[in-house]
Amino acid sequence: MTRREGPVRVAVLVSGGGTNLQALLDTLQHSPDARVARVISNRPGAGALERARRAGVPATVLRDPANGAELLDALGDAQLVVLAGYLKLVPRAVVSHFRGRMINIHPALLPDFGGPGMYGHHVHAAVLASGARESGVTVHFVDEEFDRGPIIAQEKVPVQPDDTPETLAARVLEAEHRVLPRVVLELARRIA
Ligand code: GRF
């Protein structure tokens, strides 16, 4: 079997501060299997863009996130696409082009607490309001709907009696920073 040329090129889509992007940058920095090749955002002010700049990774801000051709162009020769706090629905043409090679991380145990409007503290507030004793992280393949694609990995996180959406979010984020780099490396080795 011929081994591909160099580490798998990973593109990361972001809308926020980028702590999951940072976990990928830190983990893949010296990896022979995968590297963050480009960062793409729908928000020019996303803190994640500063992390990309500091790591010397090229970054793009989309003019129109609903424009599939623009996003495909920005993705370029990426082989694996990661949605890390990306809040926009990915256009159908891009989903089908990267089917099975595009993943998303969600801060809850899907299929519960997912879907349109379920992001950030909204998720954690809903988990607490439901009385659930545990929450967690889900990494799944991206399809045409928010948070619905086939699940790849999950990690459970306990809900504490005195939790607020902020304290639960912080505990879930710690688990995210473990799970996402692990899944990306597993998929990259499969693509190899
Ligand atoms: C994470 O909780 C992620 O699961 C969700 O959005 C948040 C992004 O956080 N989709 P960050 O920008 O990676 O810090």
Cα(15) to centroid of ligand 1, in Å?
9
Q: What is the mean pLDDT of residues 102-115?
A: 98
Residue 3's pLDDT is what?
Answer: 52
Q: What is the mean pLDDT of residues 109-133?
A: 97
Q: Which residue has the tokens 């702590």?
A: 19
State the Cα–Cα distance between residues 12 and 18, nearest whole angstrom. 10
How would residue 191 be classed by pLDDT, with cut points 50, 70 and 90? confident
State the Cα–Cα distance between residues 58 and 111, nearest whole angstrom. 34
Cα(2) to centroid of ligand 1, in Å?
36
State the Cα–Cα distance between residues 52 and 67, nearest whole angstrom. 23
Cβ-contact 7, 33 below 8 angstroms:
yes
pLDDT in tens, 33-89: 999 999 999 999 999 999 999 999 999 999 999 999 999 999 999 999 999 999 999
121 in catalytic set: no
Q: What ligand 1 atom has the least distance to the C-alpha of 173? A: 2
Q: Give ligand 1 pocket residues (Cβ under 6 A).
A: 16-21, 48, 84-85, 105-107, 119, 173, 176
pLDDT in tens, 129-187: 999 999 999 999 999 999 999 999 999 999 999 999 999 999 999 999 999 999 999 99
Residue 141's pLDDT is what?
Answer: 98
How far, in whole angstroms, is CA 132 from its chain's centroid?
24
Read out DSSP for 73-120? HHHTT-SEEEESS--SPPPHHHHHHTTTSEEEEESS-TTTT-STT--T
* pTM (predicted TM-score): 0.96
Residue 1 pLDDT greater than 80, yes or no: no
103 CB-side CA count, 13 A = 24
Choose the catalytic residue: 106, 121, 122, 140.
106
State the Cα–Cα distance between residues 180 and 166, nearest whole angstrom. 20
pLDDT in tens, 5-29: 799 999 999 999 999 999 999 999 9
State the Cα–Cα distance between residues 39 and 57, nearest whole angstrom. 7
